[in-house]
Chain A
Amino acid sequence: MKTSQKVAGATANYVDERTGAAKWLKKNLTKVFPDHWSFMLGEICLYSFIILLLTGTFLTFWFDPSQREVVYHGSYLPLSGIHMSAAYDSTLHLSFDVRGGLLMRQIHHWAALIFMSAIVAHLFRVFFTGAYRKPREFNWLIGVGLLTFGIVEGFLGYSLPDDLLSGTGIRIAEAILQAIPVVGSYLAFFAFGGPFPGTAFIPRIFIVHVLLLPGLFLALITIHLMLVWYQKHTQYPGPGRTEKNVVGYPLMPVYMAKAGGFFFVVFGVTAFLGAVASINPIWLYGPYTPGQISAGSQPDWYMGWLDGLVRAAPPLETHAFGHTISWNILIPGLIIPGILFTGMALYPFIESWITGDKREHHLLDRPRNAPNRTALGVTAITFILISLLNGGNDIIATHFHLTINGIMWFTRIGLFTIPPIAFVVTKRICLSLQRADRDLVLHGRETGRLVMMPNGEMLEVHEPISEAQKWTLTQHQTPEALPAPLPASATVGLKGKIRARLNRANAVQIPAPTLTDLKELGDGHH
């Protein structure tokens, strides 16, 4: 026996005698994972989170989370002799006087943008394929939590350097706190340790940014992955793939190599961005002071839609009985995001209530086969995109020679009119794609070969598609409306009526073609 085998055997023996893990490990080393490019989006989230932990730890070795006033004497001469906070001073020091410091700052910021983008892309994949359905509702909820905390974490992160741009962001956050009825000014004073800006806020958000939230992320990501592991991954429909199996590659060696390799690819791409693409050059903004501001103040993109909503809000305030309520802050800043995120979290339960579907699902839906869900998703995305557009209205106005007023009015009207149009259009597109699938199965694919019949008629030759393709296009089950007559409990009252109406809307589908359809066609086929 070779030495390496002896060592491996001895190690396995040592571990197993103390944990009894041999059986579990044996089974899981060959655990099967299905392969698809869209399953890598969640991986990107995990890997960019690891990059954030590594680079973030590096940054904490130099960053001084303090709002104590100091005078800058570092190597960036334009700011020499300027009064600033120790936080800003140490960020400048990191950027100019620590070898690789600027690189690490830029990798950290890029990784944060990639983290948030990947979470959102992963969310889209999970939503549009119906991967959140039973038994994966827990993971959907954890995902919504990670998205929410990710937005907060990102905001706190770019607020730490205490430059003019980030200080302005904190000022806005303080105004939102202050706008909360009854307790607002108390919350603001407690959070900031007194009047804005004070000296307490950055040390406080620092500990939230580097300890509390990362700890929470670690816990939630661990549960998320353990559930994926235990419940086994969903898979796209196709020949040989059923609700009862999972088809793919074994963990060892294929998935270890691919997933491990992909971590390094994500790291490499992020490092490349950090190396060549400047991001958040805080030395150009100067230190924060409440009396100054720079034109074109923009948050990072995952906050941009919120800022866009705030910009679009009409100037509504209630003044009564010596009190003031700022609807222009509360509605776009707290109420609309609250409704959106609550709706998102509850969606799996709402859908299952509408369809009455309580079965387990491991095969993913093709988005066209769930037209209502797909249309709803596109509606929400349209709403967010219009808001995001308005969040950059000043930049857009200057670049495209438009007026800010014009963009703002487009947003105010568009937020209410364009999403419903997007819903209808998407639903129609889905149904058309279903018809196209039906044609493809029943009539075959167009070959582009034209044949002239003896009577002069021109025909295009169609070729039947493969059995595998036919199966892929027809395997889904057309959802049917609640069985009629509806159970008495389901139609009673307003709630029952709403459910019945939504259920009917959901049942609008082009029936998946069957072999019987094909045979009937074949009888009279030319």
Chain B
Amino acid sequence: MSNQIERFQDPGLPEHVHRNADVDPRAAKRAEQQVAILFLLSAAGTVLTIASYIYVKSSTFVYLPVLGRTDLQQLLLGIGLTAATLFIGLGAIQWAKKLMPDEEVIAERHEFRSEEVDREELVSTFKERADASGIGRRSLIKRTLGLALGLVGLSPLVLLRDTGPMPGEYLNKTDWAAGTRLLRDPDGQPILASDIEVGAVTQVLPELPAGVERTLENTGKDAVLLLRLRPEDFNLDPERLSWTHEGIIAFSKICTHMGCAVALYEQQTHHLLCPCHQSTFDVTRAAKVIFGPAARPLPQLAITVDADGHLIAKQPFTVPVGPSFWERNSSNG
């Protein structure tokens, strides 16, 4: 049956239609002028770029509609560069479209597959050459070469070992210890419990031993948020309640999901929100995760006051802070 079905036939390339510029010398002249004008505009753009580089003062700000306050020099440099490049492009394209031959050309494709005889010869040549090396016969060479090649990649791998130290216990520990004073960030002052108002949020860092300078690595695991609620707002078990002081409660600020700073506090609902992936923690229930991808609550820091009334840590964090890692023992949260 199928051989009786007649398909539509390819009518072939449509006949070429001449453009205006092909038949009318005046149109061609006009096109030539258009191209020339575009190239001249590009030249003007370069002049503008150089002139604004030399003559417009840096940090001259102007107010422009839509753009707002704008650095005039940067803007003019940019506009000059835009004109200098864009008009070369438009000129060249106009030239190609109006004046260069626009008759479509047909080229034949060649088949990629080589002649059968060449393919066979390739295989036989390869076999013959491989035999000449003797790799098939001399299995001792083959095996030792395999061993050597397999091992040679290890050297660069081993040499990369010193890119960093072993993690050791680093991820499990912070600089908080029993009795460490809480210092307000960024002024570094110790905090009196009475200074914290209900509803306030303060970022605090541990007081480091004298002579130890605080680095970003310290901050990256030590940052703690101090919040004060009305004590009756808490919904904590007795142990966790004993970690608070007159409604003041402290949590690690480093998100247990991916380590961003959990910085958004909704005062009305007592929720802490991480702006990276929106994990939401309920302060009244010991920073339990109530929404988002984080799987563990923010570690709570037990606090109390020292003899002067300054806030201090009662004990170190009982669990590692920050995101998870393979060696983290999460049986206690």
Binding site for B on A (CB under 8 A): 30-32, 75, 96-97, 99-100, 102-103, 106-107, 135, 168, 171-172, 174-176, 178-186, 188-198, 200, 231-232, 239-240, 242-250, 253-254, 257-258, 260-269, 271-272, 274-276, 288-297, 307, 310-317, 319, 322-326, 328-329, 332, 360, 362, 393-394, 404-405, 408, 441, 467-468, 470-471, 474-475, 513-516, 519
Decide if B325 touches A191 in the complex (CB within 8 Å).
no
Cβ–Cβ < 8 Å partners of A135 in chain B? 112
Given A240-B106, A315-B289, CB of A310 within 8 Å of CB of B96: no
Q: How far is the CA of A340 from the CA of B189 in the complex (A)?
A: 51
Given A254-B101, A310-B293, CB of A268 within 8 Å of CB of B5: no
Cβ–Cβ < 8 Å partners of B295 in chain A? 315-317, 326, 328
Decide if B259 touches A174 in the complex (CB within 8 Å).
yes
How many Å from the CB of B250 to the closest CB on chain A? 14
The chain B residue sitting closest to A67, CB to CB, is B216
Cβ–Cβ < 8 Å partners of A474 in chain B? 7-8
Q: How far is the CA of A123 from the CA of B259 in the complex (A)?
A: 34
Given A276-B75, A315-B292, A394-B278, CB of A291 within 8 Å of CB of B219: yes
Cβ–Cβ < 8 Å partners of B164 in chain A? 189-194, 198, 200
Cβ–Cβ < 8 Å partners of B276 in chain A? 168, 172, 293, 297
Question: Which of the segments B18-26, B86-94, B236-244 contacts the partner chain?
Answer: B86-94
Q: Choose among B10, B216, B323 the residue that contacts A471 (Cβ–Cβ < 8 A).
A: B10
Cβ–Cβ < 8 Å partners of A196 in chain B? 217, 220, 259
Tell me whether B260 is interfacial, beta carbon within 8 Å: yes
Decide if B327 touches A185 in the complex (CB within 8 Å).
yes
Decide if A175 touches B9 in the complex (CB within 8 Å).
no
Decide if A179 touches B323 in the complex (CB within 8 Å).
yes
Decide if B12 touches A245 in the complex (CB within 8 Å).
no
Decide if B9 touches A471 in the complex (CB within 8 Å).
yes
Decide if A408 touches B278 in the complex (CB within 8 Å).
yes
Q: How far is the CA of A467 from the CA of B15 in the complex (A)?
A: 13
Decide if B12 touches A314 in the complex (CB within 8 Å).
no
Decide if A297 touches B100 in the complex (CB within 8 Å).
no
Decide if A268 touches B260 in the complex (CB within 8 Å).
no
Decide if B107 touches A297 in the complex (CB within 8 Å).
no
Decide if A97 touches B260 in the complex (CB within 8 Å).
no
Given A197-B217, A258-B92, CB of A268 within 8 Å of CB of B324: no
CB-contacts of B180-222 with A (<8 A):
185, 203, 205, 216-217, 219-221
Per CB-CB distance, the 9 closest pairs between chain A and chain B, nearest first, are A275-B78, A268-B86, A261-B92, A264-B89, A240-B13, A290-B220, A265-B89, A175-B258, A257-B96
CB-contacts of B62-80 with A (<8 A):
67, 71, 73-75, 77-79
Given A316-B295, A323-B327, CB of A269 within 8 Å of CB of B78: no
The chain A residue sitting closest to B327, CB to CB, is A185
Cβ–Cβ < 8 Å partners of A475 in chain B? 8, 10
Given A96-B59, A258-B92, CB of A394 within 8 Å of CB of B275: yes
Given A97-B58, A293-B260, CB of A261 within 8 Å of CB of B89: yes
Q: How far is the CA of A477 from the CA of B79 in the complex (A)?
A: 51
Q: How far is the CA of A292 from the CA of B225 in the complex (A)?
A: 11
Decide if A313 touches B293 in the complex (CB within 8 Å).
yes
Q: How far is the CA of A169 from the CA of B282 in the complex (A)?
A: 25
Cβ–Cβ < 8 Å partners of A244 in chain B? 108-109
Cβ–Cβ < 8 Å partners of B161 in chain A? 190
The chain A residue sitting closest to B86, CB to CB, is A268
Q: Choose among A250, A257, A271 the residue that contacts B85 (Cβ–Cβ < 8 A).
A: A271
Q: Choose among B10, B92, B185 the residue that contacts A239 (Cβ–Cβ < 8 A).
A: B10
Tell me whether B328 is interfacial, beta carbon within 8 Å: yes
Decide if B258 touches A325 in the complex (CB within 8 Å).
no
Decide if A297 touches B275 in the complex (CB within 8 Å).
yes
Contacts A262-B89, A275-B81 known; list 9 others, CB within 8 Å: A175-B257, A195-B171, A200-B163, A247-B105, A257-B93, A261-B91, A265-B86, A326-B323, A329-B257
Decide if B93 touches A239 in the complex (CB within 8 Å).
no
Q: How far is the CA of A451 from the CA of B333 in the complex (A)?
A: 81
Decide if B326 touches A184 in the complex (CB within 8 Å).
yes
Decide if A188 touches B167 in the complex (CB within 8 Å).
yes
Decide if A310 touches B277 in the complex (CB within 8 Å).
yes
The chain A residue sitting closest to B94, CB to CB, is A261
Decide if A262 touches B259 in the complex (CB within 8 Å).
no
Q: How far is the CA of A189 from the CA of B164 in the complex (A)?
A: 5
CB-contacts of B129-173 with A (<8 A):
160-161, 163-167, 170-171
Given A178-B323, A245-B106, A292-B261, CB of A275 within 8 Å of CB of B77: yes
Decide if A514 touches B105 in the complex (CB within 8 Å).
no
Q: Would you mind naming 9 contact pairs between A and B with Cβ atoms under 8 Å apart?
A: A239-B14, A246-B106, A248-B104, A258-B96, A264-B86, A295-B264, A297-B276, A315-B292, A323-B329
Given A362-B109, A516-B4, CB of A193 within 8 Å of CB of B93: no
Decide if B293 touches A197 in the complex (CB within 8 Å).
no
Q: Choose among A96, A197, A260, A471 the residue that contacts B92 (Cβ–Cβ < 8 A).
A: A260
Q: How far is the CA of A17 from the CA of B318 in the complex (A)?
A: 79
Tell me whether B6 is interfacial, beta carbon within 8 Å: yes
Decide if B96 touches A254 in the complex (CB within 8 Å).
yes
Cβ–Cβ < 8 Å partners of B331 in chain A? 319, 322
How many Å from the CB of B6 to the closest CB on chain A? 4
The chain B residue sitting closest to A317, CB to CB, is B295
Q: How far is the CA of A393 from the CA of B83 in the complex (A)?
A: 38
Decide if B82 touches A307 in the complex (CB within 8 Å).
no
Tell me whether B306 is interfacial, beta carbon within 8 Å: no
Tell me whether B263 is interfacial, beta carbon within 8 Å: yes
Q: How far is the CA of A32 from the CA of B13 in the complex (A)?
A: 15
Cβ–Cβ < 8 Å partners of A185 in chain B? 167, 171, 325-327
Decide if A271 touches B82 in the complex (CB within 8 Å).
yes
Given A194-B164, A324-B324, CB of A514 within 8 Å of CB of B74: no
Q: How far is the CA of A266 from the CA of B90 in the complex (A)?
A: 10
How many Å from the CB of B17 to the closest CB on chain A? 13
